[in-house]
Structure 1
């Protein structure tokens, strides 16, 4: 079971890398006012959602303690990210504050995962 959990952790990290990487590749375009939500950002957020849910289920099935408040906060932040990216994915350019919010929330989600013990 540990191997399966580690595979899902790896996929979860790939999802966050895709979301954050998509954001970082658009930073120069954001300063020019032409940033857009690239497909990698949507796919990364969806990957994070699916693998995160799987990780919670696998850890609970194994009897490991799960911090439900932490998971709830991370899920809420991810749903906001996913909603913004999904709704605005077809627009040619995204307003700087909205695009910056997605990047900030992505980093908040990373820090919650790492620092909340």
Structure 2
């Protein structure tokens, strides 16, 4: 079971990298006001959602304790990110504040995951 959990953790990290990488590659465009949400950002957020749910289930099935408050907060943040990216995915350019919010929420989610023990 540990190998399966580690595979899903790796996939979860790939999803985070895709979402954050998509944001970071658009930083210059955000400054110019021409940033847009890339398909990689949407797919990264969806990957994070699916693998995160799988990780919670696998950890509970393996009798590991799961901090439901932490998971709930991370899920709420991810749903907001996913909603913003999904709704604005076809727009030619996204407002700077909205784009920065997605980057900030993604970073907050990473810090919650790593620092909240």
Aligned residue number for residue 45 of structure 1? 45
TM-score (normalizing by structure 1): 1.00
- CA positional deviation for 1:76: 0.1
Length, aligned pairs only: 117
- CA positional deviation for 1:82: 0.1
Aligned residue number for residue 36 of structure 1? 36
- CA positional deviation for 1:109: 0.1
Does the residue aligned with 1:103 lie in a helix, a strand or coil? helix
Question: CA separation in 1, counterparts of 2:54 and 2:109?
Answer: 17
Aligned residue number for residue 107 of structure 1? 107
- CA positional deviation for 1:107: 0.1
- CA positional deviation for 1:29: 0.4
Aligned residue number for residue 16 of structure 2? 16
Question: CA separation in 2, counterparts of 1:101 and 1:108?
Answer: 10
Aligned residue number for residue 81 of structure 1? 81
Tell me, yes or no, if structure 1 residue 94 matches structure 2 residue 103: no
- CA positional deviation for 1:31: 0.5
Q: Which runs of 5+ in 1 are unaligned?
A: none
TM-score (normalizing by structure 2): 1.00
Runs of 4+ in 1 over 4 A off after TM superposition: none
Measured against aligned partners, the alpha-carbon deviations of 1:46-70 in whole angstroms (never above 9, x if no partner) come to 0000000000000000000000000
Tell me, yes or no, if structure 1 residue 25 matches structure 2 residue 52: no
- CA positional deviation for 1:75: 0.1
Tell me, yes or no, if structure 1 residue 58 matches structure 2 residue 58: yes
